[in-house]
Amino acid sequence: MNDGTPGTKPPVWRAADGSPISCLEKIKVLNENFEELHQMCQDALEDAVLMGCPEDQVKGALHALIDSLATTFKKP
């Protein structure tokens, strides 16, 4: 899954208190989501550049998209 590109290795997932997530199933789901998002963003970047958009504009738009995300449920 990971193509070896710097920055694409999933992080150590942590709970709200800073302790590492230890459940292997949770880590598996988090890592799979991370890899899927990486591939989708990579595909979107390459498509946009092929269509003439500057790479920095596309990356800026992707950063803004991530920054706009918010949970839709109440935190415990």
Q: How confident is the model at residue 1 (pLDDT cuts 50, 70, 90)?
A: very low
Q: How far is CA 75 from the centre of its chain?
A: 21
What separation in angstroms does the CA of 49 have from each of 16, 59, 64? Answer: 37, 11, 18
Q: What is the pLDDT of residue 43?
A: 98
pLDDT tens for 64-76 read: 999 999 999 887 6
Residue 60 has pLDDT above 60, yes or no: yes
- Measured between alpha carbons, how far is residue 54 from residues 31, 39, 62, 65 in Å? 29, 19, 13, 17
For the chain, give the mean pLDDT.
91
Domain that holds residue 23: 1-76
Domain count, the chain: 1
Kindly report, residue by residue over 9-25, the tens digit of the pLDDT.
Answer: 999 999 999 999 999 99
Six token digits for residue 17: 């208190």
CB-based burial label for 30 (10 Å; 0-12, 13-18, 19+): middle
